[in-house]
Amino acid sequence: MIRIVVADDQALVRAGVRMMLEAAGDMTVCAEAADGAQAVQEAERHRPDVVLMDLRMPRVDGLEATRRILAARPGTRIVVLTTFAEDENVYAALRAGALGFLVKDDPPDRMVEAVRRAAQGEPLLAASVLRRVVARALAAEEEYPRVPAALTERELQVLTLVGIGLSNAEIGERLHLGVTTVKTHVAAVMDKLDLRNRTQAAVVAHRLGLVDADFRPTRP
């Protein structure tokens, strides 16, 4: 059972999200939060698999709450909820370690799928969004590893395919590997490069020259 905390300042939104998720059968909402401070408290109390985090909340906003939760429990999977995809804070939240984001008027099945994938450490992030996030990170010259830190050849291949936005299943098909094996390689890459999520891994793949500006692999 996937355990979830839903953080949103609107009670009606929280109730609707709870109903959609719990109808899936493999999820339970263990707590709700009306602001970012409460979200941090509930995440510490319940240690959920996934936090659905609204960005615009009183007292402490969702961006700061994301930072605090991940500082305390880096393994928590956070999916940002926003009212519009171009919210500047979305990109800051992704850079802070959120796995991906959902727009509040997305179809219910997309939210359910996003939570399932987040629980497995895999984001639901459109390629167009990944391109914008990578472009912003590269332009900002943020601190990311610039050397492959003794990655194996297979790990470099996996990092390259993460960099073009492929899911674990798609990477497995491309490299003729099982999904579990791909997850193991992704985890090793994250650990060696001290990364929080695949969005950061994609930025590193571009910084290392493994992926070009058109999101194509540069290695055979």
pLDDT per position as a tens digit, 148-206: 668 999 999 999 999 998 888 899 999 999 999 999 999 999 889 888 778 888 888 98
16 part of a folded domain: yes
- Phi, psi dihedrals of residue 54, rounded to the nearest 5°: -70, 145
Domain hosting 84: range is: 2-124
212 falls within a domain: no
The predicted structure's pLDDT at residue 11: 95
Domain-embedded: residue 220: no
Residues 112, 151 within the same domain: no
Per mean pLDDT, which range of 55-59, 84-88, 133-137, 201-205 is the poorest? Answer: 84-88
Residue 69 shares a structural domain with residue 104: yes
Give the span between the Cα atoms of 161 and 139, in whole angstroms. 22
Provide the number of structural domains found in the chain: 2
Residue 140 placed within a domain: no
Do the domain assignments include residue 37? yes
* Residue 47 shares a structural domain with residue 154: no
Q: Which helix (H) or strand (E) holds 103?
A: strand 100-103
Alpha helices in the chain (DSSP H): 11-22, 36-46, 62-72, 88-96, 108-119, 127-140, 153-163, 168-175, 179-193, 198-207
- Judge whether 63 and 35 are in contact, CB under 8 Å: no
Which pTM does this prediction carry? 0.76
We report the CATH number of the domain holding residue 60 as 3.40.50.2300
Residue 145 has pLDDT above 60, yes or no: no
The Cα 127–Cα 16 span in angstroms is: 28
Are residues 183 and 105 part of one domain? no
- State the pLDDT confidence band at 127, using cuts at 50, 70 and 90: low
